[in-house]
Structure 1
Amino acid sequence: MLPPLQDYPENLRLLFDANNAEGANFRHNIRNYNSAFAFASFGANIRPPPGRGPYCFRLQGQTYHYASNLHVNDPEERRYGQLYIIETNKAIHNRVNAPENANCLVSVFQKINEALINNPYAAAYHNMRDIEQEQERAAIENVSPRQVTMHFIPGPDRRTYNNPSGNEIAAIFVGDDGAPPVHRDIIVYPIGQQRERIAYISCHLDPMVYPLLFPNVESGWHIQMAHVAQRQTRVRTKVTMQEFYSYRLAIRDGFSALHRAGKLLQQYIVDAYVKVERCRLNFIQNNQAQLRVALYSGLMDHLGRQNEHQEAGVPVILPSTFTGSPRNMQQAYQDAMAIVCKFGKPDIFLTYRPDLVARVYNMHLKELMIDIKDRHIFGVPVAHIYVIEFQKCGLPHCHLLVML
C-alpha cells in the first residue's frame, strides 16, 4: 500500500470541473498544458490510429525522457526546466508563443503557474541559477569560476505527508575537477553539455514529466520501494513496477485528477506500460543463466545456424512466460491444436465485441465465460479456447471456440 496522494490544488481542480471556455480548453489540450509545465521531456514516435474513431494515444518503439540544460542558446526556445529560472511573465510568454500551444489560453497558463509556483523542482532550478550567478560575480572579481551542476538525489521519498523542498530532491555541485557526488540520479548542466536521459526506474520521472497529475511531487516508483508488512513474503519484500502502477490506477472514492485527465491519462498509461515491459525485458536479459535458456532443446543450434550470416551479437532468448514472445505464441498454438485433437472440432465460434472500454469489457467477458462454463447456456462444454484482439481504434474483442 502506498501513501495516499495529497489534496489536489483547488485552482487546478476547478479547471477539471468548470463548464466554461477555460475548462473545456484545458481538458481538450491537457497534454499541451502538461508538456508546457513539465521539467523533463517525453519523446516517442506517436502514431495515432487512422480513421475518425475516439481519441487513442498510440506509439511505436521506445519512449525517451530527458532533463534539459539550465540554459539554451536562443532565449525564445526555452523549454521545460529552463522556463522556471526566468520571470513569470516571460515564461508564460514563451509557453503561449510555442507553435504547439497555439490553441491554448493565456488565462489557463496563468492559473497553472500559480498552482505550481512552489514546486520543489522549480526551487531546485532556481537554486542552481542563484549559485551560477554567484560564480559569475566571482569571475568579475578575477576569481576563477567553477562549473555548476545539479544532481537529483535518487532513492526513496524521504517525506511522508509534507511536500519536499528543493534541497531534498537535488543537490547543487560546484567544482572544476569533474568529480560528482557518489549518489546521483540525474545531472543538469548549465549549457553546452548533452542532455541527461532520465532512467525509467528513476523516482523523479513521473513528477517531472507529469506536473499536472502530481503537482504535490509524489515520488514515482523506485527499486527500494518496500511492501507493507502485511504484504511481504520470505521471497518478495519489494514492490514491483507493475504493482505500483496498478495501485496508482485503481479507482477509489473522491476526486482523482489522474482519472479525470482524459488524453493525458492515456499517455500516462501507455508510458507506464512501456516502462513495465522494459523492466521485464531488462530482467530477462540480465538473467539468461537463471532462466536456463541454454537448455532449450534444439533452440541454440537453430540460432547458431540462423546467425551464421548475421552481424556478431549476443542473442537474448525470451521465455514462453513473456506474453507475445515467439515461444509464447508457439506454446499457445500447440496447446490449442492439442485441445482440438483431443476433443474434436469446435461446435461454436463466437465473436464478442461490445463498444466498451477495456476494463468494463473484461468484466463482461468474465460474466460471459461464467454463463458458458457454469450456467451452460449452450450446453455442457468440454473445452474452450479464446483469444482477445484489439481493433485499430483500441477497442477489444474476443474470438471464442467452444467444444460441447
Structure 2
Amino acid sequence: MFAMTSMGVNVINSINDARGPYVFKISGQLCHRIGSLIPNDEARPEYCKLYIFDTDNEVRNRIAVATTSNSDFQPNEAIVASLITMLDTHNSVVQVFRTARDRLSMQPNNQSGEPDDRYAVKLFSTPTQHGNIYSDPVTSEVVGLVVNDLGTTEEGRDLIVQDHSCQLQRVKETHCKFMAMQYPLLFPYGEDGFHENIKYRRCSRSNKIKRKVVTMAEYYSYKLHDRDDDFNTPLRSKRLTQAYEVDAYCCVEDDRLRYYRKKSF
C-alpha cells in the first residue's frame, strides 16, 4: 500500500488457502522497478505516484490499490491516514516526493498547456554523494529534487525519476534506498540500506581478511539477527517480515551470481 517501487514478481496467495501459518511465496525474478512521478492518461496512480498525484483522495486511492473487488479485507481509513501522516513527518524519501508534488502543483503552464519546468526526483546510490540540485533541508543526503536539467534517467548508479515517463526503471540491489522505497513501514525514517561503500571493521580473529567493504550477505545477516538491546523492526512485522526476508535472500543470490559471472570472464 505504501511501497514506492514494484517487486516485479507474482505473489502466490493460493498457498495460504488452507489452515496454517501465513507463507510469502513468489514466482519469477524479483526486480524492484519505479515509474514516473505522474501517471499517464487515465492510468490509476500506484506506488510512488500516490505520493504525488491526487493526494486529496490519497487514503481512498491507497485502499483501492491494496484491495481487490473479491477481497473481504477492508483497511481502516483512520489507520491509513495516520500512517500517511507519520511518513510525511519522518520519512526522508517521502518528504522529497512531497516536495516534488508541491513544486508541480505550483508551477504555471505555458501556451501549449505544458508546465514551464521539468522536475525529477534524484536518488543517489550512496549516502556520501552530492550534486547541484535543490535539496529539502529535512531530508538526508541521498535524495533531492532536480529542476529542468534532467539528463539521462540514470547517472552511473544514481536513479532519476522523471515527472513523465513511459518506461519503468530498475532499482539496483546495491542502491542504498532499495529496501526503504519498497518497505517504508519497516524503515519509517527512510534509513539507508546496503550499499557498496559500507566499511568492513576487522576484529581480532579476522586480521587475515584483506577486503575493505562488507558483502551483501554479511549485511543482511547482521540486519536479520535479533539483539536484546535493539528493537529490530524488520523482524517484528509479521507478513512484512517474510516479504523482507525473501527479498533479501533473492538479492544475496543475485549478488553471488554476479560475482561468479564477473570472475568467469
- TM-score (normalised: structure 1): 0.54
- Report SS of the residue matched to 1:172: strand
Match of 1:39 in 2: 4
**Change in CA separation of 1:87 and 1:59 when aligned onto 2, cut-off 3 Å:** closer
Stretches (4+) displaced over 2 A: 45-54, 73-76, 85-89, 96-99, 126-134, 138-150, 164-184, 228-234, 254-257
**Change in CA separation of 1:59 and 1:232 when aligned onto 2, cut-off 3 Å:** farther
Q: CA deviation at 1:275?
A: 0.5
Alpha-carbon separation, structure 2, partners of 1:130 and 1:107: 24
Q: CA deviation at 1:112?
A: 1.1
Matched residue count = 248
Q: CA deviation at 1:146?
A: 4.7
1:257 equivalent in alignment to 2:233: yes
Match of 1:318 in 2: none
Q: Map 1:28-107; keep pairs closer than 5 Å.
A: 36-48=1-13, 49=15, 51-73=18-40, 77-86=44-53, 89-98=56-65, 100=67, 102-107=73-78
Alpha-carbon separation, structure 2, partners of 1:157 and 1:250: 26
**Change in CA separation of 1:225 and 1:234 when aligned onto 2, cut-off 3 Å:** same
Alpha-carbon separation, structure 2, partners of 1:143 and 1:193: 17
Paired amino acid for 1:281: L
- Report SS of the residue matched to 1:37: coil
Match of 1:241 in 2: 216
Alpha-carbon separation, structure 1, partners of 2:94 and 2:42: 18
Higher mean displacement: 229-238 or 244-253: 229-238
Higher mean displacement: 225-234 or 89-98: 225-234
1:266 equivalent in alignment to 2:237: no
Q: Map 1:360-371; keep pairs closer than 5 Å.
A: none
- Report SS of the residue matched to 2:251: helix
Give the share of equivalent positions with the same residue, in percent.
30
Alpha-carbon separation, structure 1, partners of 2:75 and 2:5: 20
- Report SS of the residue matched to 1:54: coil
**Change in CA separation of 1:89 and 1:233 when aligned onto 2, cut-off 3 Å:** farther
**Change in CA separation of 1:143 and 1:79 when aligned onto 2, cut-off 3 Å:** closer
Match of 1:200 in 2: 173
Out of 78, 96, 99, the residue aligned to residue 124 of structure 1 is 96
**Change in CA separation of 1:140 and 1:122 when aligned onto 2, cut-off 3 Å:** farther
**Change in CA separation of 1:113 and 1:156 when aligned onto 2, cut-off 3 Å:** same
Alpha-carbon separation, structure 1, partners of 2:146 and 2:232: 37
- Report SS of the residue matched to 1:252: coil
Q: CA deviation at 1:138?
A: 6.0
- Report SS of the residue matched to 1:187: strand
- TM-score (normalised: structure 2): 0.80
CA distances 1:242-278 after superposition (whole Å, capped 9, x unpaired): 1111110111125332222111111111110000000
* Structure 2: unaligned runs, 5 residues or longer: 130-136
Alpha-carbon separation, structure 2, partners of 1:150 and 1:40: 14
1:223 equivalent in alignment to 2:196: yes
Select the structure with the greater relative contact order (CA < 8 A; seq sep ≥ 6).
2
- Report SS of the residue matched to 2:6: strand
Alpha-carbon separation, structure 1, partners of 2:43 and 2:5: 18
Alpha-carbon separation, structure 2, partners of 1:38 and 1:284: 31
Alpha-carbon separation, structure 1, partners of 2:65 and 2:114: 39
* Contact 1:124–1:167 (8 Å) recurs in 2: no
* Contact 2:120–2:150 (8 Å) recurs in 1: no
Alignment RMSD: 3.1
CA distances 1:5-57 after superposition (whole Å, capped 9, x unpaired): xxxxxxxxxxxxxxxxxxxxxxxxxxxxxxx1112122212235475332211
- Report SS of the residue matched to 1:78: coil
Match of 1:115 in 2: 86
Q: Map 1:286-365; keep pairs closer than 5 Å.
A: 286-289=262-265
- Report SS of the residue matched to 1:173: strand
Q: CA deviation at 1:87?
A: 6.4
Match of 2:141 in 1: 168
Q: CA deviation at 1:168?
A: 2.4
* Structure 1: unaligned runs, 5 residues or longer: 1-35, 159-163, 290-404
Match of 1:353 in 2: none
